[in-house]
Amino acid sequence: MKKPAGLSLLLLLILLLSSFLINLSGIPIRIWDEARLANNALEMYLNNNWIVTYYDGSPDLYNTKPPILIWLQVINMKLFGLNEFAIRLPSALASIATGILIWWFLKKRLLDHWLGFLAGCVFATTFAYVYIHAGRTGDYDALLTLFITLYCISIYFFVEEKKAKWLYLFWTFITLAALTKGVAGLLFLPGLFLFILAQKSLVKTLFNKHVYFGFAGFVVLVGGYYLLREKMNPGYLKAVWENELGGRYGTTLEGHNHPFNYYFRNMYLWRNEYWFYFIPSAYLAGFAIPSKEARRASLFTLLMVAPYFLIISTAQTKLQWYDIPLYPFLSLQIGLVLYYAWKWVRQFIKKESLRLAVAIAAFILVFFYPFKECWSFIHHFGEKPWDDAPHRQGYYLQNAINKKQDLNGYYFGYSDYHGQIKFYIEALRHKGVRVDLNHNFDYVQPGHKVVVSQKPLQDTLLKQFVVQKQEEAFGCTVYLVQQRL
């Protein structure tokens, strides 16, 4: 690699690491999806069943996604222990890889590594991607997005070069996407079809034998997993239909009913507030740029973004993180216009040293705010009011484990969904710590230390036992049980 290209990649890598890897274990396991996956991974780690995922000792028919992410989490547990870092590392590495992929794609297609650097920096400072349920937590979406971006870029190269290797790479990555999050991994196919059609490559693609060889491999691997899982876990395919296909798209699940403009509003109100305002000008400029390759790349990103955006906006079930796969393509486009804007400016600056100074100043001016926003979220995280109560005991447990506090004889009481607490309890039990978690106090005995964080449960405890308050921390109160009333 040429030295200048190496410099741009190194600088980008530093920014990607600061956005996705630093302070990765700073907050406890999050309620709902991350907690569910963490417990799936922990049970797979313990029972060595690599096909059927389990929750609370039984096959999990609520989370019906294939297990690639969970496999990676289990491998990390074996390497790094039963902790948040092991659960989140696959997402962090997938996000870093996606940023590098953006750099590589633009360097290869538009022949300038600094263009890739700018687009990668846009990606690394996209708030939605460092926010919860994306590039820094143990959820499906960052890994899914990496595979989606890879298979879309593979088709771009196939259309340009007509080489069979790009078709096989496409089928490899779309298979991995489907085995990461099921049907969600296929939702960019309409956009790819439109791109192939726009590039007048549809007939040649349809009559390419390698398309069908790759498709056969996809069917065998993906279909084989689903059939094997159904054989080992009867009722699985019915649950997939209800959770992922007709149920999720055609009906509203779990109250996640939002208007058509839900993702649009989220983007400009908070998830991508800064970069959102660059998007219209990025596309207007992208199609006006003299470079034929830049216009083709602009068409490509537009056809990746628009159909997918329409699909998730018309679905009856809408969740804020469904927009995550859009951001690599939006980053590509915004990076493109930033680069060509700089090319226009620099023609008026003749002196090389002044040009460098202006470039650095312009970079700081453009990227300071989004970087500051991401940095503040990562290093000065504060719970939203609605997320405070479910995570109090997670903070207590995380702190106690980090400080190697003796938790033998501790009893955690929590009356609502407690997957975010259960992960820590089961991990401690695996290490031989006598600790318990329940929604009531039926098994509490004198000598137990009971941790509560909910006022109704605290009142129940005080009505049933004579207790002595030991400490208050992270919104939790710890009582030593002396006797039953």
pLDDT of residue 251: 63
Q: Are residues 324 and 409 in the same domain?
A: no
190 plus 269 within the same structural domain: yes
Residues 410 and 372 in one domain: no
Together in a domain, 60 and 203: yes
Q: Which residues pair with 449 in a beta bridge?
A: 410, 480
| pLDDT for position 93 | 98
Give the per-residue pLDDT at 256.
73
Decide which of 379, 396, 419 is a domain's last residue: 379
Mean pLDDT of 336-361: 94
DSSP class of 28: P
- Which CATH number is 478's domain given? 3.40.1010
Q: What is the DSSP string of 45-108?
A: HHH--SSS-EETTEE-SSS---SHHHHHHHHHHHHH-SSHHHHHHHHHHHHHHHHHHHHHHHHH
Q: Does 390 lie in the same domain as 372?
A: no
**Tens digit of each residue's pLDDT (9 = 90 or more) over 214-249:** 999 999 999 999 999 999 999 999 999 888 776 566
Question: Which pLDDT does position 1 carry in this prediction?
Answer: 39
Closest CA to 331 of 174, 126, 189: 126
Residues contacting residue 302 through CB under 8 Å, at least 6 positions apart? 283, 333
What is the number of domains present in the chain?
2
C-alpha–C-alpha distance, residues 422 and 428, integer Å: 10
Using the predicted structure, report yes or no on whether residue 2 has a pLDDT greater than 60: no
Structural domain containing residue 475: 386-484
Residues of the chain above pLDDT 90, percent: 93
- Tell me how far apart the alpha carbons of residues 40 and 37 are, in angstroms, rounded to a whole number: 5
**pLDDT value at residue 249:** 62
Q: Is residue 406 domain-shared with residue 343, that is, in the same domain?
A: no
- In the predicted model, is pLDDT for residue 112 greater than 70? yes
Choose the final residue of a domain: 344, 360, 379.
379
pLDDT, tens digit (0-9, with 9 covering 90-100), for 129-166? 999 999 999 999 999 999 999 999 999 999 999 999 99
Q: Which of 99, 145, 175 is nearest to 323 (CA)?
A: 145
Contact present, 73 and 87 (Cβ < 8 Å): yes
Q: Which of 320, 351, 379 is the last residue of a domain?
A: 379
pLDDT digits (tens, 9 = 90+) for 186-207: 999 999 999 999 999 999 999 9
> Bridge partners of 437?
412
When pLDDT is averaged across residues 88-93 and rounded to a whole number, the result is 98
Q: What is the residue-wise DSSP string for 456-472?
A: HHHHHHHHHEEEEEEEE
Answer yes or no: do 324 and 391 share one domain: no
* 319: nearest Cα among 147, 132, 151: 132
Query: Which pLDDT does position 308 carry in this prediction?
Result: 98
> Are residue 470 and residue 326 in the same domain, yes or no?
no
Looking at the structure, tell me whether residues 183 and 258 fall in a common domain: yes
Question: Do 364 and 398 fall into the same domain?
Answer: no
Average pLDDT of the residues in 278-293? 94
Tell whether 29 and 123 lie within a shared domain.
yes
**Residue 84 sits in the same domain as residue 222:** yes
pLDDT single digits (tens) 252-266: 666 678 999 999 999
